[in-house]
Structure formats: structure tokens, C-alpha cells
């Protein structure tokens, strides 16, 4: 895990790029619209969801390519190492260096745009959990299309992300309407853990198939 | 240590080899010969557990530490040569980076980015694994490609050292190679 974090940290473009793009979208959104702030609030949720979806795709694009192409995975298998663990650690590293900062930035921009007025910790966790779900799904897409280009993978896994987006939309609605959102947060948290584990396993199986 | 039973491998209806049977005992060197595309790399990958054979099976006796070093070089270009060295070998290495560099004539500053290393220098870094960890079986695919004559001698010496300690070694090479105890000629389908 520490090794994967270190490797990802050294590839500045891979983790800073998605954060900067997310920040740019969040800044550009209110600047690009000549509407009243009330309208900004109502449409901010959609922009946040689409941004998270896009950033998840960008940050997972080619997440396994390097280790697949340079033979690291082959060496790991030959030494009896676990591909599942390797995938798990890679995703964990991306959650720490990409998903969490994006969740934090998402929360700050939500506050700045007036979409969230309270329950900040719940909102932060909710954005982080949906990031985990989307990243896990798109990592699976990236694994599927290891030698075919990322777009094919995205198209094939996009339907999996729809329930998460719907759930997250409900969560944001409840947060902005000051309705208790603990149940939805728990649902998001549980779903993120299950999705993360299942898709990590699926990714490891797909990578093994590619290697064979 | 490792046995192959009736191994066959096909790629797109093209049979690379079939009906291979052999046993690798402790301290054996298996030299795999064959022309380009004869299936040398595929055989090594099957034996090391990376790929599955089309038919037949590979049996490992007990818990065996094995390593496959193939054509690909798992060196991260964005890390320094020292960082790559410890990434490959872990923190508790038998030889530290400087000692290994002295041993194998790798004149690379610690802080040099691996993107600036030549193919041979990267290969030397990868081969550090066989100097720092003990393995029961080694699968070496063209281990001497890109290396200078002096380094080839050092690597050969290390391989023979591992053989003495009881490691089984499978290697393919188009160049001058070690004298193998067993020859597998994939072109002729013979094991001698």
C-alpha cells in the first residue's frame, strides 16, 4: 500500500491532473453561467455528479497499463504474489491521493455555491464514497480494455455507475434540503465497500486473463 | 521440484509444442532451444504459472519460491535507479544499492532517473533480484541480451552459485549460454 502510494505520488500528473481538472470545472461552472445564484444552486448538483463521473474516468484511465505493459504483473504472478492485493492497493492509493482530495474540493465548492449549508462531514463522506464506487467501476473498465483503449471499457461499464449516480443524487437532495441523510450515507458507504471489493477481484481476474 | 506432464500449447490453431514431459530436480539447469516463435517464452511462462497450457499440467512439489524474468523490464521510468532497486528487492536486501552497483559495474548515480538508463543498465537493475533473494526455481528468458561481456560472466557465476545451492534453472538464450544439464529443443521436440 505504501509502495503504491509512493509510486502514484511520484507520477504527479496522474493524481494532480484529475484534481486540477475537477477544480477548473468547479470554478468555471458559476463563471460560465449568467444566471441568478438560486439557479446556480439547483444546477450545481448535476455539475458535481457529472464532474465526479468524468474525474473517475480520467483517474482510472490506464491505471493498470504501466504494470501490465512493463511485466510487473507477470513477475508478481511468477513469485506467487496476489493480483487481487496488487489491484486493491492500487485502488486504495488512488482513493487516498485522488478521491479524498476531490471529495474535499467537492465539499468546499458545494459550500461556496450554496448547495450545502450544514452536515459538512456527512457530505464529505458521501462524495468520498461515491468516488470510491465510480473509481472501482471505471478501474474495471480500464482492466477490460487493457489492450484495446479506454473508451471501450467506459462504454461497457457505464451502466454499472447509474445506480450509484441515482443514489448520490438522492443523497445530495437530502443534504441540500436538510433532511436526515444518515441512512443514505450508510447505504453509500456499504455499497462503496462491496463495489470496491467485488470490482478489485473482477479486475484481478480480467488482468490475469489478459496476461494469459 | 517441478514436473511437466504432457504439456501442449497452441496459439490460434498453431501448435507451438506438444507432449512435453520432464522433471526438474534440485540443481538442474534446463536450456530451452528453438528458433524465433518456437514457444520458448510461452514454455517458461507456463512453467512459472503465468500462462496456462492448452493441454497437460505443471506440478510443483511443496512450497517453491520461483521467479520469472522475461523480455519486459519492470523498471519505473519516473523513479530513480536506487528507488527502483529497493522497489524490486525490498528494504532488507543482501546487498545495498552501492554494493550491487560495484559488483555488477553499474555506474549509475543513485539520483538518476531510470528513464535515462540504457536497456543494459535497466536489465542489470532487474537482475539484482537473483543476487538479493533466494529462489528454488528461476525462469530466465534471454537473460544475457543487452549485457556487456563482463556482466554476462558475473550473471553466469551467480546462476552457477544458485545451482550449487540447489536451485532449478530454466533459461532460453540465442547467445552463448551456460552448459545445461538438460536440453529442450522445441524445433525438434526433443529433450536430451
ipTM for the predicted complex comes to 0.83
What residue ranges do the domains of chain B occupy?
A: 1-65+137-192, 75-133
Strands B190-191, B182-185: pairing is antiparallel
Question: In whole angstroms, what separates CA A103 from the centre of its chain?
Answer: 9
Please report residues of A whose CB lies closer than 8 A to that of B44. Answer: none
- Which residues of A fall within a CB distance of 8 Å from B69? 75
Mutate to test the interface with A, among B53, B71, B78, B141 (most CBs of A within 10 A): B78
Cell output for A174: 437530502
Contact at CB, B76 and A66, closer than 8 angstroms: yes
Task: Name the minimum distance, in Å, from the CA of A7 to any CA of chain B.
Answer: 8
Residues of chain B falling short of pLDDT 70 = 174-178, 180
Q: What is the DSSP string of A83-152?
A: HHHHHHHHHHHHIIIIIHHHHHHHHHHHHHTTS--S-HHHHHHHHHHHHHHHHHHHHHHHHHTTTT-HHH
Angle in degrees, 0-180, between the axes of helices A120-144 and A150-176, rounded to the nearest 10: 170
Please tell me the total number of residues recorded for chain B in this structure: 192
CATH for B1-65+137-192, among 3.40.50.300, 3.10.129.10, 3.40.960.10, 3.40.50.1370? Answer: 3.40.50.300
B49 → closest Cβ in A7, A70, A78: A78
Which pLDDT belongs to residue B26?
A: 82
The number of residues making up chain A comes to 212
What pLDDT is attached to residue B177? 64
Residue of chain B whose alpha carbon sits nearest to that of A4: B87
CA-to-CA distance for A102 and B82, rounded, in angstroms? 32
pLDDT for position A21:
92
A25 Cα to chain B: minimum distance (Å):
29
- Closest by Cβ to B68, choosing from A7, A10, A74: A74
Cα A96 to Cα A8, A106, A135, A145, B144, distances in angstroms: 10, 15, 12, 24, 40
Q: Model pTM greater than 0.90?
A: no
Chain B nearest C-alpha distance from A70 (Å) = 5
Q: What is the pLDDT of residue A204?
A: 94
Domain layout of chain A by residue ranges: 2-211
- The tens place of each residue's pLDDT in chain A, 212 residues long, gives 888 888 888 888 889 999 999 999 988 887 777 656 666 777 788 888 889 988 988 888 888 888 998 889 999 998 888 999 999 999 999 999 999 999 999 989 888 877 777 788 888 899 999 999 999 999 998 898 887 766 777 778 888 888 988 988 888 888 877 777 888 889 999 999 999 999 999 999 999 998 88
Shortest alpha-carbon distance between residue B168 and chain A (Å): 14
CA distances from A207 to A141, A160, A167, A175 (A): 11, 19, 30, 39
Which residues pair with residue B31 across a beta bridge? B171, B183
What local confidence, expressed as pLDDT, does residue A180 receive? Answer: 76
Cβ-based contacts of B87 with chain A (< 8 Å): 3, 7
A114: Cα within 13 Å, side-chain hemisphere? 9
Specify the pLDDT at position A37: 64
- Among B residues 33-92, those touching chain A with beta carbons less than 8 Å apart: 45, 48-52, 65-76, 78-79, 83, 87
Tens digits of residue pLDDT in B76-98: 999 998 889 888 888 777 778 88
Amino acid at each position: 500500500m505504501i509502495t503504491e502510494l509512493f509510486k502514484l505520488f511520484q507520477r504527479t500528473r496522474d493524481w494532480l491532473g484529475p484534481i486540477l481538472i475537477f477544480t477548473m470545472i468547479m470554478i468555471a461552472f458559476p463563471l460560465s453561467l449568467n444566471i441568478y445564484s438560486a439557479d446556480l444552486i439547483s444546477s450545481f448538483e448535476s455539475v458535481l455528479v457529472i464532474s465526479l463521473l468524468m474525474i473517475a474516468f480520467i483517474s482510472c484511465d490506464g491505471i493498470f497499463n504501466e504494470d501490465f505493459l512493463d511485466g510487473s504483473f507477470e513477475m508478481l504472478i511468477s513469485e506467487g504474489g496476489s493480483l487481487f492485493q496488487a489491484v486493491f492497493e492500487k485502488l486504495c492509493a488512488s482513493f487516498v491521493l485522488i478521491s479524498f482530495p476531490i471529495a474535499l474540493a467537492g465539499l468546499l465548492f458545494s459550500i461556496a455555491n450554496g448547495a450545502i449549508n450544514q452536515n459538512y462531514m456527512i457530505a464529505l463522506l458521501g462524495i468520498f464514497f461515491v468516488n470510491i464506487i465510480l473509481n472501482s467501476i471505471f478501474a474495471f473498465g480500464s482492466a477490460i480494455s487493457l489492450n484495446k483503449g479506454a473508451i471501450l471499457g467506459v462504454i461497457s461499464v457505464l451502466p454499472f455507475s447509474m445506480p450509484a449516480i441515482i443514489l448520490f443524487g438522492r443523497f445530495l437532495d437530502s443534504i441540500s434540503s436538510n433532511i436526515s441523510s444518515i441512512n443514505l450515507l450508510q447505504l453509500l458507504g456499504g455499497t462503496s465497500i462491496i463495489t470496491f471489493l467485488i470490482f478489485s477481484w473482477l479486475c484481478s481476474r480480467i488482468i490475469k486473463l489478459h496476461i494469459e | 521440484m517441478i514436473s511437466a506432464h504432457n504439456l501442449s500449447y497452441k496459439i490460434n490453431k498453431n501448435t507451438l509444442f506438444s507432449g512435453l514431459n520432464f522433471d526438474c530436480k534440485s540443481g538442474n539447469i534446463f536450456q530451452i532451444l528453438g528458433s524465433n516463435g518456437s514457444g520458448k517464452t510461452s514454455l517458461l511462462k507456463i512453467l512459472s504459472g503465468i500462462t496456462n497450457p492448452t493441454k497437460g499440467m505443471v506440478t510443483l512439489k511443496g512450497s517453491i519460491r520461483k521467479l520469472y524474468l522475461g523480455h519486459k523490464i519492470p523498471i519505473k521510468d519516473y523513479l530513480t535507479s536506487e528507488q527502483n532497486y529497493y522497489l524490486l528487492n525490498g528494504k532488507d536486501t543482501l546487498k545495498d544499492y552501492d554494493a550491487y552497483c560495484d559488483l555488477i559495474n553499474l555506474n549509475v548515480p543513485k539520483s538518476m532517473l531510470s528513464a535515462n538508463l540504457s536497456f543494459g543498465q535497466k536489465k542489470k537493475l532487474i537482475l539484482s533480484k537473483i543476487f538479493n533473494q533466494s529462489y528454488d526455481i528461476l525462469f530466465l528468458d534471454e537473460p544475457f541480451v543487452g549485457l556487456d561481456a563482463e556482466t554476462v560472466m558475473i550473471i553466469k557465476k551467480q546462476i552457477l552459485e544458485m545451482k550449487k545451492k540447489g536451485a532449478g534453472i530454466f533459461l532460453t538464450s540465442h547467445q552463448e549460454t551456460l552448459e545445461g544439464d538438460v536440453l529442450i529443443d522445441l524445433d525438434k521436440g526433443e529433450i536430451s
